[in-house]
A and B are shown apart, each in its own frame.
Chain A
Amino acid sequence: MRTGVVAVALALLVLAPLLPRQARAQFSFDARRYGMGGVSLSRDGNARRFNPAYRALKTHGETTGTPKFSIPVPIGLIKFFKDHPISQLSHDPMFDPKSTSFNPFELTNLIFNPPIFYEVKKSPTPTNNVEFTVGKNQLILNLGGSRVLIPEQEFGLGTTSRLFDAGAGFGGFHVGVMGFLQYDVAFSLDSALRRALTDTVTGVRPGDTLSLLSDAIAQAGLAPTVSFAGRLTHGADPASDDGLYLGGAVHYYLGATYGRLTGPAQIQVGNPIFGTKPAVALADTLRTSNQHNGKGVGGDVGLVWVSGPFEVGVGVNDIGAELTWSDTKVQDVSYITTTGKLVTTIDTNHVETKTKLPVTYMANAALRMGTGTTVGGDVVNSGRGTVIHVGVEQRTGPFALRGGVSRDQRKKMQFGFGGGLRLGPIGLDVGFFTHSNSLSTQRAITMATAISIY
């Protein structure tokens, strides 16, 4: 079973670039982009996903140097399957929690950093001793170097994705259907729990209430969409791209499913700590849809201005996107100490609930100089934090040199550099990039490789 799941997951990762373009914006396999610190200088991908005005602009102009598509060269998979043979995945220590070599860190790193590309420098897996000081009225944890991983603020993950966007258009109009998925899982530790995990002097205090606050939401569905993108003004040469472009889209969201879990999980520490039984409390509220009947209206808007070599755009998505779920139920989730089981009881049923999709946006700019140099940057917020990318590409004959920097969602600087060789309709691109989206404080370096078709 485990082998199958892993195999399917890896297959999906390989096939992801072959999915429709809108999906590719969520998972970039573009080595060019990685080499420029994550910035996208093309007019498709992220630009078109966030900014409907880009529909009115040519995508694959020679001036942008954008390939029609890129095929990743999954060098990382070769090493992965050498280290983890498919025939042995069922009892591979990496996926077997019962193995003494199982390390949740490594598995998390694998999820955050799919092994498509070659890891030049791996993110080190924290391995350190954990020390407990246990007394009748004392419990101190010393997590060693891993203590820095205990978050000070809310932590979690989430995004708004457009899984697909199919349709057809005429003139500036486009009619289609897109699939949307939004999820956000947020946790926060109260001060007592944080102290219990980080304070190596006091630790857990008698009578403490340790709370883990959670708020998790997920909703998905389809959205029939009508959009328009057109050119409002043009420059002296109407044949050029110069001008101001406006785009807008109206979505009628048809929610298929929705769920939200909120509330704290608490432990009332006894006094003395080991002398009395602590009370465990779980008073969460679970809201779920009974039917596939979420409905709502929202829209996207975008502007692009092109003037010679300069291009700037801004797009905002899911404005006013509020879904009304006419038939939902609210359940109380509690923990019964005596039985040690979670019990769910219906509080109210067949009630209306409203949810919102977070507003996401992207602002981008690019300067295409006649010397083969292109400089660009973008600011993207896909629902959980802002990411900034700035990059440059220098093309000289068949060669390309790239570099860039970015600030990730953790507000940490990342770097990228790379190059490319184009021979007619085919190009080979290599991009090195640093990343910290793993459970480590140190950066890893990955080498992305791709074949570009022009």
Chain B
Amino acid sequence: MKALAAALLVFVAACGQGKAIFNVNVYSFIAGTGKDTVPYIIPPSSSASGSTVQKINLPPGFGSSIVDSVRITNGSANLLTTSGSGRIGFQLYVAADSAGTYNAGALALNLPDTAVSAGPPISVAISGDLSTAVHTVFTQPTVWVRLVANGSNPNALPVTGLQGKMILTALTIRVVVEDKIF
């Protein structure tokens, strides 16, 4: 893919000054792999999280570019709780490699908790600007993302644990960079 994108960028390079905008459909890389589902099991009176990691390919050649902004333009997930109740939050980590997504500094987006309880799925909108600390990662041809369902179960025993899964249904990231190719 690198060669294809690089070849196309030769033409793009001839388009003068401007900005390069990437609308990256992260969900398309995750859908069907099973990684679009993040299970959560949170014992009573505790907090816990579950996560999945996915690699995303971007056109190469923007290594020397300056990232203007990174924003989630379309994102949503369903929180399907099968037992218990509590609160579930969504976090997105971004890094240049898989292991890096587990670093605290890779936290790109942290959405407020949503109250959940056993029953029909609750749709949660995912949106917002990603942390500037991770902007430079998006100039690289490979980006790793980690989706985290971070929850808390305030209920004490003998109430059952909070159990369910977060199912990603859409995630598109818009990356705007200064058009400085190669």
A interacts with B: yes
A→B interface (CB under 8 Å): 97-98, 100-101, 103-106, 108, 125-139, 141, 143-144, 146, 149-150, 196-197, 204, 210, 212, 265, 267, 269-270, 273-274, 277-278, 280, 337, 439
**Which residues of B are found within 8 Å of A196, using beta-carbon distances?**
8
Among A108, A131, A269, point to the contact of B23 (Cβ < 8 A): A131
Given A100-B178, A149-B14, A149-B15, A129-B4 contact (CB < 8 Å):
no
Interface centre among A149, A210, A274, A280 (most CB of B within 10 A): A274
Q: Using Cβ atoms and an 8 Å threshold, which residues of chain B touch A141?
A: 8, 12
Contact B18 A269 (CB under 8 A): no
* Chain A residues, CB < 8 A from B182: 97
Taking a contact as CB atoms under 8 Å apart, the answer to whether A267 and B28 are in contact is: no
Q: Is the CB of B4 within 8 A of A130?
A: no
Given known contacts A130-B12, A274-B1, is B21 in contact with A138 (CB within 8 Å)? no
> Beta-carbon contacts of B27-69 to A below 8 Å, as 1s and 0s?
0110100000000000000000000000001110000101000
Chain B residues with CB below 8 A from A127, complex form: 16-18
Interfacial chain B residues near A277, Cβ < 8 Å = 1
Is the beta-carbon distance between B28 and A138 smaller than 8 angstroms? yes
When the two chains form their complex, are residues A134 and B3 in contact, meaning their CB atoms are under 8 A apart?
A: no
Total number of residue pairs linking A and B with CB closer than 8 Å:
110
Q: Are B4 and A267 in contact (CB under 8 A)?
A: yes
A197-B11, A277-B1 known; A125 and B16 CB under 8 Å?
Answer: yes
**28 A-B residue pairs with CB within 8 Å:** A98-B64, A100-B66, A100-B178, A101-B17, A103-B16, A105-B15, A105-B17, A108-B14, A130-B15, A130-B19, A131-B23, A132-B21, A132-B23, A134-B22, A134-B58, A135-B24, A139-B5, A144-B15, A144-B18, A146-B16, A204-B4, A210-B7, A267-B3, A267-B7, A273-B1, A274-B57, A278-B4, A280-B3
Chain A residues lying within 8 Å of B28, measured Cβ to Cβ, are: 135-138
Distance in angstroms between the alpha carbons of A314 and B22 in the assembled complex: 56
Question: Which residue of chain B is the closest to A208 with respect to CB atoms?
Answer: B4
Q: A137-B28, A146-B14 are in contact. List 7 more A-B contacts (CB 8 A).
A: A108-B14, A129-B179, A131-B21, A132-B20, A136-B25, A269-B4, A274-B29
Taking CB atoms, residues of chain B closer than 8 Å to A126 are 15-16
Among B5, B13, B16, B58, chain A packs the most CB atoms within 10 A around the CB of: B16
Q: Report if B71 contacts A (CB, 8 A).
A: no
Q: Given the known inter-chain contacts A197-B8, A278-B3, please indicate yes or no for A104 contacting B16, CB distance below 8 A.
A: yes
* Bound Cα distance from A136 to B8, whole angstroms: 17
Q: What is the total number of residues of chain B having a CB less than 8 Å from a CB of chain A?
A: 33
Interchain CA distance A280-B2 in the complex, whole Å: 10
B87 part of interface (Cβ distance < 8 Å): no
Binding site for A on B (CB under 8 A): 1, 3-5, 7-8, 11-25, 28-29, 31, 57-59, 64, 66, 178-180, 182
Contact (Cβ within 8 A) B24 A134: yes
> In the complex, what distance in Å separates the CA atom of A223 from the CA atom of B159?
100
A149 surroundings in chain B (CB, below 8 A): 14-15
Return chain A residues, CB-CB under 8 Å to B16.
103-106, 125-128, 146
Q: Are B12 and A129 in contact (CB under 8 A)?
A: no
Q: Which chain A residue shows the least CB distance to B55?
A: A274
- Residues of chain A contacted by B18 (CB below 8 angstroms): 127-130, 144
- A125:B14 contact, CB within 8 angstroms: no
- Are the CB atoms of B17 and A103 closer together than 8 Å? yes
Chain A residues contacting B23 (CB-CB under 8 Å) are 131-134
Question: Considering the chains assembled together, what is the distance between the CA atoms of A22 and B20 in angstroms?
Answer: 47
Collect the chain B residues with CB atoms within 8 Å of residue A130's CB.
12, 15, 18-21, 179
- CB atoms of A132 and B22 under 8 A apart: yes
Residues of chain A contacted by B180 (CB below 8 angstroms): 100
Q: Note all chain A residues with C-beta closer than 8 A to B58.
A: 134
Across the interface, which residues of A come within 8 angstroms of B17, CB to CB?
A: 101, 103, 105, 125, 127
- A128, B12: Cα distance in complex, Å: 10
Closest 4 CB pairs of A and B: A135-B28, A135-B25, A146-B15, A136-B28
Q: Is the CB of A133 within 8 A of B25?
A: yes
- Chain B nearest CB from A264 CB (Å) reads 12
Measured CB to CB, the closest approach of chain A to B137, in angstroms, equals 15
